[in-house]
């Protein structure tokens, strides 16, 4: 069985973008792959997190993943900071990756903005830690949203350079699994920006714990254009907001853009938006309820994470030990 690895940062409440681009795609992979899913708390502190809030959000993220259908009997679910192999391998990879490679990362440029002198060094080396996350398990398939494409290419470059420099075939090639009609969910306020946990405007996103009223209101106010929906795909060109809402609908209804347009072409947003809001509530409310139920017994969630960390370490430790041997670290 191929091994899957993916991660999500506990830097806020998961958004509809996280859900459609990543979390929901992780669930069916459990039937066909050996799956390892990680709440990447080390990645979260590349940008400031209040300590008490980080701890709460980390447990809530784990509960959301369980609520979405990650099954700890079939998959490993754990916290990145609890498995030391990640940072050990990350250091080796920092010495393999080239500065020029990191300078090309568009997510760093987006997150740092004009502030490049004053962001953390961790934000800059963030994709190196991500490469270590995956390769510490020799995972070959990584289900992520479209925004992570460039980071996966970097991870492959690092694996290749390590293999080349140390004259080995130790690390495998990684393949991204970028799935479904909503691999890039955009902000509800601006069709050119991705939906994000860290956007200052709560109106820009649907959070997985939003109430039915919040969802209906956010969709009602979502930016659109005055034209009715087109009947054909080409009609979405130059209409990013319309494309985004159609993509969300398609993902939730388990179909694609074209069939949503076949059903809704010619109709206006006044009709489409309430149908979309209803679909969102129907799909998201059970997840929020289950997450709340799980959080009422945080001892259970913590135990899942503790056992997950033990199982993860049992896989990663020998792999990273071998990488250390290849580098030439003396084992006494
Ligand atoms: P993050 O919230 O940055 O930790 O992202 C966790 C996962 O969600 C990654 O696989 C991302 O690619 C995915 N993701 C985040 N935002 C979006 C979005 N707006 N649309 C689709 N996928 C997303
Ligand atoms: N960088 C990813 C994001 O922000 C999260 C992440 C960290 C990840 N490590 C990973 C995703 C390993 C896949 C595999 O979305």
CA distance 75 to 300: 16
Q: How far is the CA of 80 from the centre of ligand 1 (A)?
A: 17
The total number of structural domains in the chain stands at: 2
pLDDT beneath 70, residues of the chain: none
The pLDDT value given to residue 150: 98
Is there a domain that residue 191 lies in?
no
**Domain around 248:** 209-293
Res 182: pLDDT: 96
145 lines ligand 1 (CB under 6 A): yes
Q: Examine residue 194 and state whether it is found in any structural domain, yes or no.
A: no
Q: Would the CB of 123 count as within 6 Å of ligand 2?
A: no
Q: Is residue 140 domain-shared with residue 250, that is, in the same domain?
A: no
- From residue 216, how far is each of 34, 58, 182, 240, 274 by CA, in Å? 38, 27, 19, 20, 7
Ligand closest to 146 (CA) is: 1
pLDDT in tens, 38-47: 999 999 999 9
What CATH number does residue 305 fall under?
Answer: 3.40.50.620
> pLDDT value at position 115?
87
pLDDT 10s digits, 145-162: 999 999 999 999 999 999
Write the DSSP string, 5-16: EEEE--SSSPBH
Q: Which ligand is nearest to the CA of 251?
A: 1
Question: 134: Cβ below 6 Å to ligand 2?
Answer: yes
Q: Tell me what pLDDT residue 257 has.
A: 97
Paired tokens of 63: 């509960």
Q: Which structure tokens are listed for 90? A: 């990350």
Pair 156, 304 in one domain: yes
Query: Is 200 contained in some domain?
Result: no
Cα 130 to ligand 2 centre (Å): 6
Hey, how many other C-beta atoms are within 10 angstroms of the C-beta on 52? 8
Residue 9 CB less than 6 A away from ligand 2? yes
Q: Please give the angle made by the CA atoms of 205, 208 and 213, to the nearest 5 degrees.
A: 75
- Work out the widest C-alpha separation in the chain, in whole angstroms: 73
Q: How far is CA 179 from CA 32, 40, 254, in A?
A: 16, 21, 12
Residue spans of beta strands (DSSP E) within 144-271: 175-177
Same domain assignment for residues 100 and 213: no
Q: Specify if 204 maps to a domain.
A: no
Q: How far apart are CA 182 and CA 6, in angstroms?
A: 17
């Amino acid at each position: 069985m191929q091994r899957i690895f993916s991660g999500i940062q506990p830097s806020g409440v998961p958004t509809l973008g996280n859900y459609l681009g990543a979390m929901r795609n992780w669930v069916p992979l459990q039937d066909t792959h050996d799956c390892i899913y990680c709440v990447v708390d080390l990645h979260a502190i590349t940008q400031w997190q209040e300590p008490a809030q980080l701890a709460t959000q980390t447990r809530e993220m784990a509960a959301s993943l369980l609520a979405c259908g990650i099954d700890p009997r079939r998959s490993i679910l754990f916290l990145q900071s609890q498995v030391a192999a990640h940072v050990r391998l990350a250091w080796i990879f920092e010495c393999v990756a080239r500065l020029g490679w990191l300078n090309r990362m568009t997510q760093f440029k987006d997150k740092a903005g004009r502030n490049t002198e004053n962001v953390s060094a961790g934000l800059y080396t963030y994709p190196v830690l991500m490469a270590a996350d995956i390769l510490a398990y020799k995972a070959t398939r990584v289900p992520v949203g479209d925004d992570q494409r460039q980071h996966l290419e970097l991870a492959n470059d690092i694996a290749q350079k390590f293999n080349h420099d140390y004259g080995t075939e130790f690390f495998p090639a990684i393949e991204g699994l970028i799935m479904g009609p909503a691999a890039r969910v955009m902000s509800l306020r601006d069709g050119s920006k991705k939906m994000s946990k860290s956007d200052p405007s709560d109106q820009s996103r649907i959070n997985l714990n939003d109430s039915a009223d919040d969802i209906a209101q956010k969709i009602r106010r979502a930016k659109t254009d005055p034209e009715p929906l087109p009947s054909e795909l080409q009609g979405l060109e130059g209409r990013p907001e319309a494309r985004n809402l159609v993509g969300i609908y398609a993902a939730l209804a388990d179909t694609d853009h074209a069939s949503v347009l076949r059903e809704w072409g010619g109709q206006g947003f006044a009709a489409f938006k309430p149908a979309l809001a209803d679909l969102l509530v129907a799909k998201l409310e059970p997840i929020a309820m289950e997450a709340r139920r799980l959080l009422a017994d945080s001892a259970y969630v913590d135990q899942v994470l503790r056992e997950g960390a033990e199982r993860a370490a049992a896989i990663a430790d020998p792999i990273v030990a071998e990488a250390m041997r290849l580098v030439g670290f003396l084992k006494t």
